[in-house]
Chains A and B, each alone.
Chain A
Amino acid sequence: MREILLQGGRVVDPKSGRDAKGDVLIRDGKIVSGKPSKEAVIVKVDGCVVTPGLIDPHVHLREPGQSAKETIATGTAAAVAGGFTSVIAMPNTSPAADGPNTIAWIRQRARETGVANVFTTGAISVGQKGEALAPFGALKQAGVVGLTDDGHCIQSAELMRRALEYARMFDLPVCDHCEDTSLSAGGVMNEGKWSRILGLPGWPGIAEEVIVARNALLAELTGARVLCQHLSSAASVRILREARARGVPIDGEASPHHLTLTDDLIEGYNTDFKMNPPLRTKGDVEAVKRGVADGTIRFLATDHAPHCNYEKEVEFDQAPFGVVGLETALGIYLTELVHSGLLPLKDVIEKMSSIPSDYFKLGRGTLADGAVGDVTVIDLERKWTVKKAEFKSKSKNTPFEGRELKGRAVFTIVGGEIRHDLDGRAGHP
């Protein structure tokens, strides 16, 4: 028998409606009610918040095939350092995760080397080429929790329609990176005043918006669940809001960077501000925040996209898109959404735990009796400065270097095992 008692914290479990001071007991990897035994390891968490283990529904772990950027070992180490107990891995590996063999390999590798739960998604199309449907049934049997060609938006409306019809049969959500590549072609930053000043090709908001609109119509037609990934533009949020008001099964994600950063930061051509979709204007940032606040956007996701220094340290237009996010996301959300007064803590925790768990059917996201022992302990008031040199991730491509944040995970517990102990307070039994 193995027991951990988290004693004296404020327990916030949105799914069960609990928000009160109390203890959380984890026995043999499960949350249990009742009294601890004499062998229980007691961890005092006074002044901290105890929440269900946080879930990031959008990360790139780069294995197989791109392990110079990240591995499942380093990516999950970054996850637990950031307070995440579960991540959903995108299928744009090499080879692409478009069939059951690759999925089985990733899941095996995650069992052997991962320190957080790794859930997998399968590709929508074979090789993520946008031409032929991947075998959704076999992928589901192999254990995927969703389907996506992330990074490669399905351009053919017909293929997207068939993908939704077919995915619905298996009750798998389809996550789409919304980008009409005929409108974004060659673009490397938001099209607007700053792209004109800097002479960089523009990736306009309209390239995202036309796909969000298409997806809303196709979700309505087919009844399939669609999640529009990392929304960046004000009009996308408006289209999503209108569709959801009609009851269309469409959702959206917001990323830490699209909630906080704007395109003028590219003035010095720093490629750590280059991601896809690109940073946009203050008006877009405000609209994404409002979308999160009013419930239009239910998902918070990092789009953790590691790239090596030597890949990023090139001419701006030549650099790959993407930034890491696992180790800064919680601090950004708490600072920008909670401490700013925009959202109550329980709403942010809900978006980071029970909402993604229920949507992707992960069987987690709560601290109820009998639940999986995935728990995050957060010091809401902890002030800290982002230092990429301290990242557990193999890659350091963060746009938040030097940023002052308030709120940080002090313990991350995965299946009853302490995987992250910021201050080294627990003492291992």
Chain B
Amino acid sequence: MSTTWHRKDLLSLRELSVEELQQVLTTAKVFKEILGRPIKKVPSLQGRTVVNLFVEPSTRTKISFELAAVRLSADVVSLDKDSSSIRKGESLKDTARNLEALQAGIIVIRHRSAGAAHFLAERLKASVINAGDGAHEHPTQGLLDTFTIQERLGKIEGVRVLIVGDIIHSRVARSNLWALLKLGAKVKMVGPSTLLPKEFSELGAEVSYDLDAELEQADVINLLRIQHERQVQARLPSVGEYSGFFGLNLDRFKKCKPGVLLMHPGPVHRGVEIASELADGPQSVILDQVTNGLAVRMAVLYLVSGGRGLGDS
């Protein structure tokens, strides 16, 4: 497989070229095929060490990265805030330098501070993969969402995507925005005005505050969860009011196109962002997103480690 990927790190989708995005998606497709085989393991990262440094809690992303690394035959170590010296007041720089001294080849970092992955990447020879940094980006989520749309609809170009919810606090919204725009989708962001600042229109998205008016046109609806419930009190009167105006309920679903894709990065608050029946219904691709996440993360680990050992499969 020829490669246009020369990056040590994956920090954001905003900085990727169209070719690089396509390379990840193409590589992920190969890994998805491998994951369908009886023996799901390949030797690409044999002898290499992947450290999952999850300073902010996560369940599905952490398991997904762990499993992706295992499937590539890497040695995998996972650290969270409580099991690392960060709890004892060690700086991120010192933690990272210690991991490097232990010759970790790839560090996957989840951190509450935007820019934490950049911080590590600038200081380490190891590859750094951003698994979510504050409200900045969650590149592998953006990639797996894009992969899922491509898989289901056969294309990205011209697809109309609604991203609904707490946009201001969402790294998922940002990573989706950059990948989808670069690949030619039309992105509209929808949410309460206090959680969707007007500047997002300067980033290339259309901005709307009226979900009902947008449903008819959408090919894809990506519903984000309301974050930091306690911190948004000045921005949102109640979750109930949010749900009343921006939740995808059964009545609203009637306005959608028949083939619409319903996405959610999880964890789902049933009855808030999306009706329970819809989350489990035929238009939902929520579990496909999880499955595809594994293939996408294998692709990213494979590419940042130099993209060797896969053959021409």
- Name A's B-contacting residues (CB within 8 A): 191-193, 195-201, 268-269, 310, 313-318
Quick one: which of B92, B115, B119, B197 has the most chain A CB within 10 A? B115
B202 & A269 in contact (Cβ 8 Å cutoff): no
Q: Shortest CB–CB separation between residue A145 and chain B, in angstroms?
A: 39
B197 & A315 in contact (Cβ 8 Å cutoff): no
B203 & A316 in contact (Cβ 8 Å cutoff): no
A193 & B135 in contact (Cβ 8 Å cutoff): no
- Chain A residues whose CB sits within 8 angstroms of the CB of B171 once the complex forms: 199
A318 & B115 in contact (Cβ 8 Å cutoff): no
Segment 78-93 of B: residues with Cβ below 8 Å from A: 91-93
- Chain A residues whose CB sits within 8 angstroms of the CB of B202 once the complex forms: 193, 196
- Chain B residues whose CB sits within 8 angstroms of the CB of A196 once the complex forms: 168, 197, 199-200, 202-203
22 pairs, A vs B, C-beta closer than 8 Å = A192-B199, A196-B197, A196-B200, A196-B203, A197-B203, A198-B114, A198-B136, A199-B133, A199-B136, A200-B115, A200-B135, A201-B135, A269-B118, A315-B92, A315-B111, A315-B115, A315-B116, A315-B119, A316-B115, A316-B119, A317-B113, A318-B113
Q: In the complex, which residue of chain A has the Cβ closest to the Cβ of B120? A: A315
Q: Shortest CB–CB separation between residue A49 and chain B, in angstroms?
A: 41
Number of inter-chain CB pairs below 8 Å: 60
B134 & A314 in contact (Cβ 8 Å cutoff): no
B174 at the interface (CB under 8 A from A): yes
The distance in angstroms between the C-alpha atoms of A193 and B116, with both chains bound, is 20
A310 & B91 in contact (Cβ 8 Å cutoff): yes
B137 at the interface (CB under 8 A from A): yes
The distance in angstroms between the C-alpha atoms of A313 and B95, with both chains bound, is 13
Q: Shortest CB–CB separation between residue A190 and chain B, in angstroms?
A: 11
Quick one: which of B114, B118, B133, B168 has the most chain A CB within 10 A? B114
Q: Shortest CB–CB separation between residue B18 and chain A, in angstroms?
A: 19
The distance in angstroms between the C-alpha atoms of A200 and B134, with both chains bound, is 8
The distance in angstroms between the C-alpha atoms of A268 and B121, with both chains bound, is 11
B197 & A317 in contact (Cβ 8 Å cutoff): no
Q: Shortest CB–CB separation between residue B178 and chain A, in angstroms?
A: 9
- Chain A residues whose CB sits within 8 angstroms of the CB of B92 once the complex forms: 314-315
B8 at the interface (CB under 8 A from A): no
- Chain B residues whose CB sits within 8 angstroms of the CB of A201 once the complex forms: 135
B119 & A269 in contact (Cβ 8 Å cutoff): yes
- Chain A residues whose CB sits within 8 angstroms of the CB of B200 once the complex forms: 196
- Chain B residues whose CB sits within 8 angstroms of the CB of A191 once the complex forms: 197
The distance in angstroms between the C-alpha atoms of A248 and B237, with both chains bound, is 41
- Chain B residues whose CB sits within 8 angstroms of the CB of A269 once the complex forms: 114-115, 118-119
A314 & B115 in contact (Cβ 8 Å cutoff): no
Q: In the complex, which residue of chain B has the Cβ closest to the Cβ of A188? A: B114
- Chain A residues whose CB sits within 8 angstroms of the CB of B111 once the complex forms: 315
B29 at the interface (CB under 8 A from A): no
B14 at the interface (CB under 8 A from A): yes
The distance in angstroms between the C-alpha atoms of A74 and B19, with both chains bound, is 52
The distance in angstroms between the C-alpha atoms of A315 and B117, with both chains bound, is 9
The distance in angstroms between the C-alpha atoms of A230 and B134, with both chains bound, is 29
Given contacts A196-B203, A315-B113, 12 further A-B contacts (CB under 8 A): A193-B199, A199-B133, A200-B115, A200-B136, A268-B122, A310-B91, A313-B93, A314-B92, A315-B92, A317-B113, A317-B114, A318-B113
The distance in angstroms between the C-alpha atoms of A389 and B280, with both chains bound, is 61
Q: Shortest CB–CB separation between residue A46 and chain B, in angstroms?
A: 47
